[in-house]
Structure 1
């Protein structure tokens, strides 16, 4: 009898321990968020911060009489992405949502998954339905550079298959590895011919220094600075500042800022770069950031020309050139923070734009997480990793300029010719030569240059999670 009692007690103890352990395990398991839960976060964030809130009746503060009515409205959307798209204004061309904030955070710090080959795809001029690729530049210290890829290379196939207008381009170039099939182009016959050279490229995580090329050109006794800058990534502000220190030491009198492939990034870095170019306007307004009607009274912010890297006085002293004129090379890929350089400097110095018309993005963003104040550090919802990057602010320059949807039109119009790209920062490159002619001779380029930008059907940067974004940092 006593043994039965002992066995019963032991069995009860084991059951109790098992229940405790199961309870602990349940506490450790993340409960996947429902679509409605994520949609509630999306609605709350856009209702609070969206720059174009006034354009979307469903985001009006008095749209719903109860939480239940709002929930019923949100349940009609089949996915968080559908909810997000359904709450955007037609004027909003750039807001995005992603299901993993880690990926976005890495991108903001300059970490990208890439082969290092930056390219554009175009329709075959013959109209045969084929597509060809053109290498625009190669990221330094990347697999593409190691493999011998060079600016100006043309490819017509991937992995031995001809690219066409029906190809799934996004999927093809998202592969972990692929082989480009190089071709030559005959401008007289407009025919592409495979030349037998194939290059295999691997996607890796790259930390990309946007200061791609910085050099001083000594031409006819003049010292001309040239900077090919590919993204406003504030983790590399010191490297950018160092480039200007070298320009100072070289005694340059003119600067060519090449932003032709720069889709933007940090507003603060754009502010600092503008001060590096100038330096004589400390304390003056660079741009004003304005928000939607609800948020603007508490958040409107003036960014000023200043003398230190970063927002405040704790960063390194900015190396300024005190120029009264700058030459900026642009294309349709020049966007957001790059356009801030044109807008922010125009009230103060002569900005001579060379190339083709810019994208037309004057709005900025910051990340919204599912937490009470939308910040990563404040009790973030552990049940999902969705994050929004909506348009929340518009930039206004010292003259009141904003809403430049159509972009900035160049003073000297000249487009890249895919059959004659030249090398970035080297004389013989047509856009660079046009600027040098302007600096030395005050002469516009001859009328036989290409002035129509060939429309691309795909850019490698489209796979970049921060493609044409402007960040409020």
Structure 2
């Protein structure tokens, strides 16, 4: 007989989560530290990672048999007096330690205050509504930014700044690799951008300045543009979708209802700046594109061996959906989709592309995606709940340890079993954005959209697709958004017991 534990994994403040103390996955025998040792945080981190971490079998210090005595375990924990350093030391070749080039784990992270972690993962933050990419100036350490888009109803939307503009300075200080994080993403709620122009691949400061103020709890509708274009008699739906947020599932379904009413028979899905989010929302979007056959496998989860064995096949497999949970899915029942994706496209964006691939032709236009195929969960020091965060159990969390973890705990594979795209998904039609000609999002003359429309119509475009100044970001505002590129689960835990 199956046992059910209704535990939500991931961004728990976005969810209504409940739990049953008797139904969680319980850790096996583990060592215990000396009760007089000041290692509460390190002890929680080791035990939570020993249970949940995807690469637990590959990290010698997380092995079940690593410690023969409690004293040996205590000494190990005490050898890392800084809990943050300890956490990254037990990750598998973490980017923070070995650098991006040699990293296996590029995305696990921790926060010394789990409430800050949970709030940030729920999108509770400050924002001025300016979304931008960052690039180095030549071979120097100086940095310039370019505007990707402006969030509607934000402070930036009321200022004289728009997509395609450039900036080099903040409060009169030239941006560089050492100061840009503090200047753009620091404690300052208001800053003034010094704007710039580009000519012949040379960036020059201008006299224009724009002052922006961050607003508490700025809400971004992930549907930036949803419209139907008439391309030589063919109705083409265009969706600029910038984040997988479950709170906007009904709005997404409504957009597809309009596409259907407009008679759309083709879709251009623009996820060039979409870093990811909810796995379930990705499933719903895929269903709106392909169909609502609930016997077709969308994705299957792969956890570490000890966790994988605890889950039922039903829990591990996600099928295409016929309902959002509140309304019937509006599907276009397409046999192909054109996806605009770049290096800023990650996690749930890549999941849609990979999950659809066994069923329809996914024509990827753009550049290679980020390559994030792992999902995470939020862990806190609550042993009785298998360390899974639940807002209903705030009083059960160890009051002596406020650390929260967001480790990678699994990968998603498609119906064909494919999951190996850590190097990113390579485009079928390679075309970088051009900083000298970013165009207007949703306009048929915007280069990436125009290239997709050319494929759909079969008629050569009059647009010159030569790229003079290709986008070569080393960072972007999206990666400093509290949600970043997390891919998280929203489903009940269903055990095999």
TM range (shorter): 0.7 to 0.9
After superposing the two structures, state which structure 1 stretch, 332-341 or 111-120, moved more: 111-120
Residue 208 (structure 1) aligns with: 220
Question: Structure 1 pair 371/195, CA: closer, same or farther in 2 (3 Å)?
Answer: same
Taking a change above 3 Å as real, the CA distance of residues 170 and 35 of structure 1, as seen in their structure-2 partners, is farther
- Residue 365 (str. 1) matches residue 376 (str. 2): yes
Q: How many residues align?
A: 434
The partner residue of 1:339 within 326, 335, 350 is 350
- Structure number with greater CO (CA < 8 Å, separation at least 6) is 2
Matches within 5 A, 1:143-222: 143-174=155-186, 175-187=188-200, 190-204=201-215, 205-222=217-234
What's the offset of the Cα at 1:308? Answer: 1.2
Distance in 1 (CA, whole Å) between partners of 2:38 and 2:436 is: 50
Instruction: Please list every run of 5 or more consecutive structure 1 residues that lacks an aligned counterpart in the other structure.
Output: 1-32
Paired residue secondary structure (1:294): helix
* Shift of residue 451, structure 1, vs aligned partner: 9.3
Identify the residue that residue 143 of structure 2 maps to in structure 1.
Answer: 131
SS of structure 2 residue aligned to 1:118: strand
Q: What displacement does 1:237 show?
A: 0.9
Q: CA deviation at 1:392?
A: 0.6
Q: Is the 8 A contact 2:292 2:321 kept in 1?
A: no
The Cα of 1:442 is off from its aligned counterpart by 6.3
Map of 1:326 onto structure 2:
337
Matches within 5 A, 1:21-36: 36=39
Equivalence for 2:486: 469
Deviations 1:374-401 (A, max 9, x none): 1324421223432111111111111110
Deviation at 1:97, TM superposition (A): 0.6
Cα distance change on mapping 1:365 and 1:280 into 2, 3 Å: same
Q: Stretches of 4+ moved more than 4 A in 1?
A: 442-448
Tell me: CA distance 1:62–1:442, structure 2 relative to 1, closer, same or farther (3 Å): farther
TM-score using structure 1 length = 0.87
Once the two structures are superposed, the pairs formed by residues 290-305 of structure 1 within 5 Å of their partners are 290-299=302-311, 301-305=316-320
Q: Determine the C-alpha separation between the residues in 1 that align with 2:403 and 2:183.
A: 22
Deviation (angstroms), 1:469: 1.2
Preserved contact between residue 443 and residue 449 of structure 2 (Cα < 8 Å): yes
Report how far residue 78 of structure 1 moved.
2.6
Distance 1:58 1:452 in 2: 46
Q: C-alpha displacement at 1:149, in angstroms?
A: 2.4
Q: Root-mean-square deviation (CA), in Å?
A: 2.1
Q: What is the alpha-carbon distance in structure 2 between the residues aligned to residue 303 and residue 443 of structure 1?
A: 40
After the TM superposition, which of the residue ranges 350-359 and 137-146 deviates more from structure 2?
A: 137-146
- Distance between the aligned counterparts of 1:149 and 1:176, measured in 2? 18
| Equivalent-residue separation in structure 1 for 2:39 and 2:462 (angstroms) | 58
The structure with the largest alpha-carbon Rg is 1
CA distance in 1 between partners of 2:68 and 2:204 (Å): 65
Aligned to 2:153: 141
The DSSP-based 3-state class of the residue aligned with 2:318 is strand
Structure 2: how far apart are the matches of 1:407 and 1:128? 27
**CA distance in structure 2 between the aligned counterparts of 1:368 and 1:86, rounded to whole angstroms:** 17
| Alignment partner, residue 116 of structure 1 | 129
Instruction: Give TM-score, length-normalised by structure 2.
Output: 0.83
SS in structure 1 at match of 2:191: strand
Closer/same/farther in 2, CA of residues 364 and 453 from structure 1, 3 Å limit: farther
| Residue aligning to 1:102 | 115
Is the Cα contact below 8 Å between 1:327 and 1:352 reproduced in 2? yes
Aligned counterpart, 2:23? none
| Residues 1:323 and 1:419: Cα distance change in structure 2 (over 3 Å) | same
